[in-house]
Amino acid sequence: MNRIDRLAAILIHLQTKRIVKAEEIADRFEISLRTVYRDVKALMEAGVPIGSEAGTGYFIVDGYHLPPVMFSQEEASAMLMAGKLVEKMTDQSVLVSFESALMKIKSVLNDRQKDHLEELQSSVEVHLSNQERKPDFPDRFLTELQRAVVQKQMVEMDYYASYNDQLTTRMVEPIGLFYYGSSWHLIAWCQLRNDYRDFRADRIKELRHTGKPFQNHNLISLQEYLKTVTHEHREVEKVVVLFDKSVIRYIGQQKYNYGYVSEESCGDKVRVTFLTSYIRSLARWLLIYGNMVQVESPDHLNDILIDLVKELEAHYMKVAVE
């Protein structure tokens, strides 16, 4: 990237946050701190109102905005690809806002770029396994939940729990949103249970804003919750298994039904990590792959698999005798 392009990119970056650290700019553009200081000085000399706070970072003086910029074809294509994911992996509230933003992006493209996106639009699709959804649940609360998380305000919701097939009213204090198992989950302090709970967003039937700030007790961050949840809360368990590479292609989209998180290559095997609330269901699925899958953790998953195999053996022995 030449210096002119870098200066423009730094200016755009400065407008994305209230405060931007010099180290953040250096890391993003792979330049030294000395170069960052020179570039920021050059922008200031060009008339850009950039302020700084010692030990904090740089900021654009409130009220200044960079005039509309042109997107590159690659940037516009990336936004279209993101839109395909938004369509499948969020709810109606987020989709409507994203489509509005994408229209604004398209409005500043040149004719060649618009033609490119039109062609790309019909040539890219995202397929995810269909999730079991109750038809009378609106699944449109993600935008409101984001607002509650940022404003740190309690919300009241009517929530359906599948494990006992009951609808309960909960007053909760949201700490974050987490995507796993092909669904968005609200992580919040539940006043009814007096503990942290994991709520699937698509199982919220009604959501009501209270406008009330969180009560005066210390809530952990989403990151802290995710670090401790598998140790302290049994609603979600971390599972790590090794698949033979010869079968990894066959697990396809099914893995998302069981809380797929990530995978990494390990020689002739692939280590796959899941976060699941239904470990027995995951165990039954793993049985399909026989000796081509190996459990690394947790140990009790091996015990569950052994019990399931014994049940199958007893069942088919009985059938053979009859």
Structural domain contains residue 102: yes
| Overall domain count for the chain | 4
- Per-residue pLDDT at 42: 93
Structural domain contains residue 135: no
**% of residues, the chain, pLDDT over 90:** 39
Please give the single-letter amino acid code of residue 294.
Q
CA distance 50 to 85: 36
Range of the domain at 116: 73-121
Reported pTM: 0.60
- Per-residue pLDDT at 69: 66
Exposed, middle or buried, 54 (CB in 10 Å: 0-12/13-18/19+)?
exposed
Is the Cα torsion angle 114, 115, 120, 123 positive or negative in sign? positive
Structural domain contains residue 212: yes
At 292-313, the pLDDT tens digits run: 999 999 999 999 999 999 998 8
Same domain, 149 and 208: yes
Structural domain contains residue 108: yes
Average pLDDT, the chain: 86
CA distance 181 to 280: 15
Is the Cα torsion angle 281, 259, 125, 102 positive or negative in sign? positive
Exposed, middle or buried, 174 (CB in 10 Å: 0-12/13-18/19+)?
buried
Same domain, 55 and 9: yes
Structural domain contains residue 211: yes
At 199-239, the pLDDT tens digits run: 999 899 999 999 898 875 667 888 888 777 655 545 678 89
Q: What is the DSSP letter of 193?
A: T
For 240, phi then psi, to 5°, come to: -125, 125
Same domain, 228 and 281: no
Same domain, 241 and 227: no
Structural domain contains residue 133: no
Structural domain contains residue 130: no
User: Which domain-ending residue is among 37, 60, 83?
Assistant: 60
